[in-house]
Amino acid sequence: MLTNRQVQIFQVIVDDFITFAQPVGSRQISKKQEITFSPATIRNEMADLEELGFLEKTHTSSGRVPSEKGYRYYVDHLLKPQKITTDDIFQIQSVFKDRMVEMEQVIRKSANILSELTSYTSILLGPDVQRHRVKRFSIVPLSSDTAVAIIVTSNGHVENRMFSLPQGFTASDIEKMVNILNERLVGIPLEKLHLKLEVEVLSILQEHIGSGDDIIQSLVKATMPNTESKIFYGGKTNMFNQPEFHDLNKVRMLMDLMETTSQVQSLFHPNEAGIHIRIGSENQLLEIENCSVITTTYSIDEEQQGAIAIIGPTRMDYRRVVALLDVMRSDLSQAFTKKN
Amino acid sequence: MLTNRQVQIFQVIVDDFITFAQPVGSRQISKKQEITFSPATIRNEMADLEELGFLEKTHTSSGRVPSEKGYRYYVDHLLKPQKITTDDIFQIQSVFKDRMVEMEQVIRKSANILSELTSYTSILLGPDVQRHRVKRFSIVPLSSDTAVAIIVTSNGHVENRMFSLPQGFTASDIEKMVNILNERLVGIPLEKLHLKLEVEVLSILQEHIGSGDDIIQSLVKATMPNTESKIFYGGKTNMFNQPEFHDLNKVRMLMDLMETTSQVQSLFHPNEAGIHIRIGSENQLLEIENCSVITTTYSIDEEQQGAIAIIGPTRMDYRRVVALLDVMRSDLSQAFTKKN
DNA sequence: ATTAGCACTCCTCTTAGTTGAGTGCTAACA
DNA sequence: TGTTAGCACTCAACTAAGAGGAGTGCTAAT
């Protein structure tokens, strides 16, 4: 257990390091208003804190820097919710002022504002399209052997995929098929679509039209992939401003990471509510061993959800980011649910 | 006019510098097989070439480096088409082997392969959607006051936009409207759509349905924006490997550039056929003052076109890039036109 | 016209020395 | 006994000086 004084010193160190990105020395600490004891005392306490694993030195005679364990402690026990300024709130809400109808625009703009307000990089995941429910199914033939299948979901999302028509498939065949599909598929979430198609609809189609087999195969193929929810970034290059990223290799790794959809998606915890903080190596990814990732989810129509992540150096301003994320989360949720 | 020998020396310098990214000295040149004269002679020639503006020195006693004017001369007069290896061709054609139906996938993969083969960054512009022609127009109501407008083009591209319905707009109103729209708008290119809507269709709608006005406004708004053709990148971080980009600031500028759609689009010359090379400051953009951009276009169904750009350091391997781009251009054009 | 020779330039790398911020330890102090 | 002043020590960061080397331009000989 830490003594009060240790906590106090530790807090000063973390706050100072978050602000200035420089190892914090005893003299510097002693100058703070709230600190009433001498550098020597502080040095003793720091030695103890280091022994306990909360602090580190960059070299034998340097000031102290919080360790990962230190940040973890800070985040778990010392992080008091910050009141963010009305100015920030105003900015966030500007996203929703315009009454934009398109969800995509709203999310894109949110990503930008978050990155501006934090000066870190923001990643927003759109809602999980797979959970949208089919509202209307239609097929538009383009030529004798290709057509576009269009699925509109109840949220107004439109999925479309080209597929090839079997030889001799007529316009009336298509009409019949569309009718059957609409009868059977409306209300089904996209993720269950290919299953439903294969198991249930296939036989019905074969009954009413001749060769339903290969066209269903085409359709199944068309509805299967594209699982990924869309990813939006804000401030991709903000990391260049962080002193810990004045290093080509690190920047590069980060940029590469952001180009790799699967890795980006692994940053999120899909099903846990609330705000989550992963510090440094807790992220499992070597590429961001000195980054922290703060994530949360926002909800759309209760059922579905999107996700937000802020990625910054471990020395990130957790207080502020958590507060901002909280506001953004609830505002997004509200904006996307009240509309229907 | 340059003498034969000057041209020969110049060519060696450019080739050498392209390969090793180091200023080229007279001794080094004299060692080449094809060079039969002494370093001193070469020095004299180099001094002349420098005076003519084709070469530069990085400092008084350094080797020579091609100037922008030098590259321009090299590109205009010395660039003999390179035969690319069957291996490369094989790689490029692998894109088309899979018989992917979706244009987007093909383009995305092309971007990646181009960046891999060149080790520079590739930018591909999808076809100019604005020139697609309407094939089918449909409207799917989502709730009492919102609906999705869906436009399928003859190439199978699907545009969709949400818009709000006026109070008391019924299902049969929508049906009527869709019919009118399809009657009037099929075959119209997207770029002319909002014009056509405002000028011609508005009055007809008002005649048949009551308050056509505000819904047309909604539709016009919905069809107007989104002008940008989609942009696909390959090898965004490849520049990190180029020695001239071992500099955070330059990398940053480049990355920022690539996030700015308008700037990226300014790299292309929309309407000129063939392969274009812009060297350094010829690009007008400060951000890439030591980059060259090689662009070309590929065609889709004769009418429309997409564009390809490779962006690399001015010291880029023009021979190879031009050759690769040429293959890619014709392969893409072929793939996208034969399909119908 | 070409080239060998030479003085000169200037980048790059290494080494050594200085400075200063910071520590840990010891001993004095309240 | 907890706190603090004092001091020796460490080490990164900076500066200065010097050596090495690749390259040039010029001159004179071939």
Q: Which of A109-113, A336-340, B135-139 has the lowest mean pLDDT?
A: A336-340
A37-49 pLDDT, tens digit each: 999 999 999 999 9
pLDDT at A340: 45
Instruction: Name the pLDDT band for B154 (thresholds 50, 70, 90).
Output: confident
In angstroms, the Cα distances linking B263 to A93, A125, B257, B285, B309 are: 29, 26, 6, 8, 13
Q: Are the beta carbons of A124 and A110 closer than 8 angstroms?
A: yes
Q: Name the more confident of A46 and A216.
A: A46
Q: Are the beta carbons of A311 and A293 closer than 8 angstroms?
A: yes
Q: Name the more confident of A170 and B63.
A: B63
pLDDT above 90 covers what percent of chain A?
A: 61
CA quadruple B219, B224, B225, B226: dihedral positive or negative?
positive
3-state DSSP call for residue B2? Answer: coil
Q: Phi and psi of A297, rounded to 5°?
A: -125, 155
A142-189 pLDDT, tens digit each: 888 888 889 998 888 888 888 888 777 888 888 888 898 899 889 988
* Alpha-carbon gap, residue B322 to B296, rounded angstroms: 9
The token pair at B52 is 């003519």
Q: Which of A252-261, B8-17, B39-48, B125-134 has the lowest mean pLDDT?
A: B125-134
Helices (H), A186-317: 193-196, 202-208, 212-223, 248-259, 261-265
In B, minimum Cα distance to A143 occurs at B340
Q: What is the average pLDDT across B12-25? A: 97
Q: Name the more confident of B258 and A203.
A: B258
What is the distance in angstroms between the Cα of B222 and the nearest Cα belonging to chain A? 10
Q: Are the beta carbons of B137 and B185 closer than 8 angstroms?
A: yes
The token pair at B38 is 């002494």
* Alpha-carbon gap, residue A106 to A123, rounded angstroms: 13
The token pair at A217 is 């195969």
| Per-chain mean pLDDT for chain B | 89
Which nucleotide lies closest to A27 by the C1' atom and the CA atom? C22
- Does pLDDT of A29 surpass 90? yes
Instruction: Name the pLDDT band for B340 (thresholds 50, 70, 90).
Output: very low
Cα–Cα nearest to B158, from B180, B140, B132: B132
A87 touches chain B (CB under 8 A): no
- Rounded to a whole number of angstroms, the distance between the first and last alpha carbons of chain B is 51
A6 CB contact with strand D at below 7 Å: no
B259 touches chain A (CB under 8 A): yes
B97-134 pLDDT, tens digit each: 876 667 888 999 999 999 999 999 999 998 877 888 89
The token pair at B88 is 């490369």
In A, minimum Cα distance to B148 occurs at A156
Choose the closest CB to A164 out of B101, B152, B251. Answer: B101
Q: What is the average pLDDT across A8-17? A: 97
Helices (H), chain B: 4-20, 26-30, 39-51, 68-73, 86-97, 103-118, 171-185, 193-196, 202-208, 212-223, 248-259, 261-265, 318-337
B171 touches chain A (CB under 8 A): no
| Per-chain mean pLDDT for chain A | 89
| Cβ burial, residue A190 (10 Å; 0-12/13-18/19+) | buried
- Between residues 124 and 143 of chain A, which touch chain B (CB distance below 8 Å)? 135-136, 138, 140, 142-143
Spell out where A262-325 has E strands. Answer: 276-279, 291-300, 304-313
Q: Name the more confident of A124 and B160.
A: A124
pLDDT at B158: 87
Q: Do A158 and B152 touch (CB under 8 A)?
A: no
Cα–Cα nearest to A140, from B72, B271, B151, B181: B151
pLDDT at A338: 60
pLDDT at B212: 56
B250-302 pLDDT, tens digit each: 999 999 999 999 999 999 977 778 999 999 999 999 999 999 999 999 988 77
pLDDT at A208: 73
pLDDT at B338: 60
A53-88 pLDDT, tens digit each: 999 999 999 999 999 999 999 999 999 989 999 999
B40 CB contact with strand D at below 7 Å: yes
3-state DSSP call for residue A300? Answer: strand
Beta bridge partners of B149: B139, B161
